[in-house]
Amino acid sequence: MKKIGIIGYGWLGERIANSMFGKYSIYTTTTTQEKADQINAKGLSAIVASFPDYQLSEPISIWDALEELDVLIITIPISGKSCCVSSLYNRIQNLSAFIGDFKGQMFLMSSTGVYPDVSRDFTEEDVPVENVSGERMMKNKYPQINILRLSGLMGDNRLLKNYKISNPDHVVNHIHYADIVGIISKMIDQESSSKLYNVTAPIHPIKSQVMNAQKNIEVPEEISEMKGKTILSSKLIEELEYVFQHPDPRTFHEVL
């Protein structure tokens, strides 16, 4: 049984861990001892660790479990969009001290927010890794890392109807967490390395259609004009031969 390390047991990290538990041995990090105790009680192995965006007076110690891990999944935010480059550099330095020179298979959860807000289709080639500070820094340190640019995380309690939205006539770029798990699992099986993929459901309705479906409101499906950026996952579908479990965001709320 392979051993998987998940750095960041937040909304997504928890669902990846729960979905993979049983098939893999799961080791993870969280930010409080109370939460670590709760995770350990489930049969997973959790420790407390955080990665601030400032220089520490003493470096973070390397993760004890690291030598046993086959795969490392990083879900903590590594984005150049929400903070300055120096803060981002400090966070990655702290993270790197924790994972050392790990040589196994690695996954970084990035975001399709790296693409500009322009009404057109986007593929991975439109914004290369070199143009995204966090991705570039991680890739330079860990050339084998797989970078998954995730669209809006949905599933369970995350439904569009629960949020205040703007631009209801713009297309959605959403992904159900079950497909994120499915894609990572397939890449683990295929021993994928150094890949860059957009991870987004291949069907792109507009926001109002998703909202109406979730509220069980029947309205005409005709759309006169598609507005907003559309993130394409065609590279992932072709290279991995991946079939999405939940291709249409209008049905995410039906998943039990």
d(CA 232, CA 255): 23
pLDDT band at 85 (very low <50, low <70, confident <90, very high): confident
The dihedral formed by the CA atoms of 171, 127, 78 and 106, expressed in degrees to the nearest 10: 100
Cα–Cα–Cα angle for 203, 10, 197, rounded to 5 degrees: 40
H or E segment and range at residue 154: strand 152-154
- Tokens standing for residue 211: 């909202």
Most confident of 22-31, 78-87, 211-220: 22-31
d(CA 158, CA 175): 11
Q: Where are the alpha helices (DSSP H) in 52-151?
A: 85-99, 133-141
Q: Which residue has the tokens 């669209």?
A: 151
Q: Which two tokens stand for residue 242?
A: 């991946």
Q: Does residue 81 register a pLDDT over 70? A: no
pLDDT recorded at residue 66: 92
Could you list the beta-strand ranges (E) of 8-131: 25-30, 45-48, 71-74, 105-111, 121-122
Domain ranges of the chain: 3-254
Q: What local confidence, expressed as pLDDT, does residue 157 receive? A: 86
Q: What is the pLDDT of residues 98-155, one digit of tens each?
A: 999 999 999 999 999 999 999 999 999 999 999 999 999 999 999 999 999 999 999 9
pTM comes to 0.94
- What does the block give as tokens for 176? 């159900």
pLDDT digits (tens, 9 = 90+) for 180-207: 999 999 999 999 999 999 999 999 999 9
**d(C-alpha 153, C-alpha 160), whole Å:** 10
| Section 21-28 average pLDDT | 95
Three-state SS for 142? coil
Correct CATH for 3-254 of 3.40.50.720, 3.40.367.20, 3.40.50.11540, 3.40.50.1110: 3.40.50.720
pLDDT band at 217 (very low <50, low <70, confident <90, very high): confident
Cα-Cα-Cα-Cα dihedral sign, residues 69, 28, 245, 235: negative
